[in-house]
Chain A
Amino acid sequence: MEAGIVLEKGGLFDRVSRLFAVIDSLPDELSDEEVKGLTFVLPPDARSSIEAMLIPRLREGSLAFMRMLSSWLKKAQETAESGGKTILVPFCFPPELVHAFDGAFPVTSEVLSTLGVVALEGRGERYYDMALGLGLPDYICSANAVEVGSMLGSDDFKPQGIISAAAGSCNINAKTHEILAFYHRIPMFVLEKPVDNSERGKEQYRKNYSRLVGELEEFIGEELTEEKLRRTCEKVNRANELLAELWDLHKAIPDPVPNLFSLFTYGVRFSMWGTDEAIECMNVLVDVSKRRLKEGAYPAREELARCLLTYTSYYFDLAGMFNWTEERGYTYLGDGLDLIFPVMIDTSSRDSMLDGMAEQSWNMPMTRQVGGESMSMCWLEDILWAAKELKADCAIYSGHHSCKQTWSVVSILRKELMKRAEIPLLVLQGDSWLSRTTPITAVQKEILDFIGNVVAQKKKGKRKIRKRLSSTAEFNA
């Protein structure tokens, strides 16, 4: 860091890990009192998020998710301590490839940023400011900036390598990884996604993927044997089945899957896919949802709107976003990051498995949509498909400033959604990871106005303001 600015002791990763270490010591069943006691010690921002997760209807799922995370964080540290290689990966890269190695472990920058925002005092914005302090622009991806800021501005836990898998689908993500590697002099392995949906493009991607595998084997100093691959791929397939099951549960009306589970689902996907922890966590999410389906449980009197979020959600206030909406009868059918398109991997041979993994990687969120040949059309097609599958009656775009790709074509998405499926799209301008951009109260007002006037209104039937008013006027005249 530059003159006069001292490195902070312990950054985002360290703080979050210590926070989550507590989770393991918790009993499986938590009473309301125990929750109170547990959150008592937390700073206000963290408390509100943890409380949001631990309200009765979410408690079981949340605990499973938090356990999964704490073991993810713990294993990352253990890998580092035991001289293994921790590798920073973006969310749009399937971490199972790294899990397949014995001596390596993936840490996902967006997941870490989100944890910082959810669980740290001041919502991790301090780290975002550190990134800006370096001179990085205020329009860089907050999903990375929070974690990157911590890595640049504190003596935080550092990875030994970086996989830059957004090359092709996202400029800023790739650039952020580049400057991180430059700043800490750590190797960066680029996995480029050609913006080309033709067979040439796919072939090129398979080449790039197997080159990456080779580079990793050399870097980690370990051969990726067929057994290791199979061990992992089988777990991936199991988790994929559960993912598909959860997806189908979303189709029920009202949706038995709590809003927050959307975040949990890809939280697992982006960190522990290909491990037993992922399967355990997914199992709980599915079981809870099935139970709720049987009981016909739903947080509000009626399901007023089935919203498909087209990109991300807002993470800086879980209570104010996920729970607030479902308590009003606004269902999250999931957001753009739930568009994972699981691929069942053929485990018959090393090649078949690598091809399957490459295909899975090709189908990851962002990589698949804005990394596609046409950002607008690839994105639109997936959203249309999901909206139809899940019987969505409205869509909400919420993202962050740095997503230049979605921002530059969201106007096309809006027009086409209306034209092709009569689905109205609310465009929110806040930032998923920064409350400072648009306070949650403003966001909530937008959503209320939108659903109240545009979505629920349709169901209630028209007000016919013009006809009725003029008739009353005539009547009274």
Chain B
Amino acid sequence: MIVLGIDAGNLFSKAVLLDEDCLLSSSISETTGNVCSCVDSIVSEVLEKSGVTREDVKLFAVTGGGSELIEGLYLREDDVLCIAAAGAYYLPDVEMVVDIGGQSITSILIDEDGDVVDFMRNDKCASGSGRFLEILSGAAGIPIKDLSNAVELAENPVKIRSQCGVFAESEVISYLNEGKKPADILWGLCDAVAGIVAAQARRFPGVKKYTITGGVARIDALTSRIENKLEKEYLKFPHDPMLGAALGAALIARLES
């Protein structure tokens, strides 16, 4: 049975095409002013990539901030559930999923059945979020995708203290102006963000095994630091972690069918 999962995030939209456990294709694009057209384009893209026709798709499921804007008969689920489902399904003994999204960090506690027990999200401050990281690595003159490699070159790392995005940015700039190397600053940046994520994750003390989803989880320089800070076992998400919610949506759809 072929299922289409969509995550209409605030900053990025993602689509996945699942045939049972086989991920046929996926697509990610920045969410524009018009969510619908954006979603349509990634949907047709995944279909094209996999050579599947709309008719072949049995179920459509959508989640994410912009989901209510999407017309058509879609099954809607909230992102907490979807992320949990993805984590629970692909990593059978994971107890917590930490999702680092565009502007928030959510840690979701799941039980042995894979049901959500509890979750926490920071809705006030975006520090530590994907956008935070993006802006700051940008300020240091390094695109976020090159972050990991850049950090490797660090020699004497600095400490980023400000938790406000814009202030942290001026901290980064002053470091640059003091002649500090971008690598050293980015090291400090990753360490700071890892610290914020770790603090969030520590709020569920009992947990032994966890995974991280969301675009930021692609950055090894970060996940490895989080791993070092937490006295818990980190299980890597088997697919592109940015697709977590979309995959979850598809999985839930399969359940509800």
Chain A residues engaging chain B, CB cutoff 8 angstroms:
411, 414-415, 418, 424, 427-430, 437-438, 442-443, 446, 448-450, 452-454, 457, 462-470, 472-473, 476-477
Contact = CB atoms under 8 A, between A and B. Distances in A.
A457 B124 contact: no
A437 B1 CA distance: 45
A450 to B, nearest CB: 7
B1 A476 contact: yes
B123 A446 contact: yes
Interface in B21-42: 21
A462 B115 contact: yes
Given A443-B123, A453-B80, A472 B118 contact: no
Contacts of A453: 78, 80-81, 84, 116, 119
A463 B115 contact: yes
Given A462-B115, A463-B113, A465-B88, 18 more contacts: A411-B203, A414-B203, A429-B122, A438-B123, A443-B123, A449-B78, A452-B81, A453-B78, A453-B81, A453-B84, A453-B116, A453-B119, A463-B115, A465-B255, A466-B92, A469-B89, A472-B254, A472-B255
Given A430-B123, A442-B123, A473-B21, A466 B112 contact: yes
17 contacts: A418-B118, A438-B123, A443-B123, A457-B115, A462-B113, A463-B113, A463-B255, A464-B113, A464-B115, A465-B114, A465-B251, A465-B255, A466-B88, A467-B113, A469-B89, A472-B254, A477-B21
B121 interface: yes
B213 to A, nearest CB: 15
B57 interface: no
B115 A465 contact: yes
B20 interface: yes
Given A429-B123, A438-B124, A448-B78, A468 B255 contact: yes
Contact of B255 (A438, A469, A477): A469
Interface string B64-105: 000000000000001111001100110010000000000000
A424 B115 CA distance: 14
Nearest to B202: A411
Given A429-B123, A449-B80, A469 B116 contact: no
A457 B114 CA distance: 12
Contacts of A414: 203
A469 B81 contact: no
Interface size class of B (residues with CB under 8 A): 20 to 34
Interface of B: 1, 20-21, 78-81, 84-85, 88-89, 92, 112-125, 203, 205, 251-252, 254-255
B114 A463 contact: yes
B54 to A, nearest CB: 21
A454 B117 contact: yes
Contacts of A464: 113-115
Contacts of A428: 123
A437 B124 contact: yes
Nearest to B65: A445
A231 B244 CA distance: 66
B117 A465 contact: no
Given A418-B118, A476-B1, A477-B20, A429 B124 contact: yes
A200 B44 CA distance: 75
Given A411-B203, A446-B121, A468-B255, A454 B116 contact: yes
A449 B119 contact: yes
Contacts of A415: 205
5 closest Cβ pairs, A-B complex: A429-B124, A465-B114, A466-B114, A453-B116, A464-B113
A427 B116 contact: no
B124 A452 contact: no
Given A448-B78, A469-B251, A430 B118 contact: no
Contacts of A469: 85, 88-89, 114, 251, 254-255
A437 B79 CA distance: 23
Contacts of A465: 84-85, 88-89, 113-115, 251-252, 255
B84 A473 contact: no
Contacts of A429: 122-125
B114 A454 contact: no
Nearest to B77: A452
A452 B79 CA distance: 11
Contacts of B251: 465, 469
A72 B34 CA distance: 50
A467 B120 CA distance: 25
B37 to A, nearest CB: 23
Given A443-B123, A454-B119, A466 B113 contact: yes
A467 B255 CA distance: 11
A411 to B, nearest CB: 7
Contacts of B118: 418, 424, 454
Nearest to A464: B113
Contact of B78 (A438, A452, A468, A472): A452
A427 B78 CA distance: 18
A418 B113 CA distance: 19
Contacts of A448: 78
Nearest to A473: B21
B199 to A, nearest CB: 11
Nearest to B120: A427
Nearest to A431: B124
A442, A449, A470: most-surrounded residue (chain B CB, <10 A): A449
B64 to A, nearest CB: 11
Contacts of A452: 78, 80-81
A467 B115 CA distance: 10
Contacts of B116: 453-454, 457
A414 B205 CA distance: 12
A464 B111 CA distance: 9
B20 A476 contact: yes
Contacts of A477: 20-21
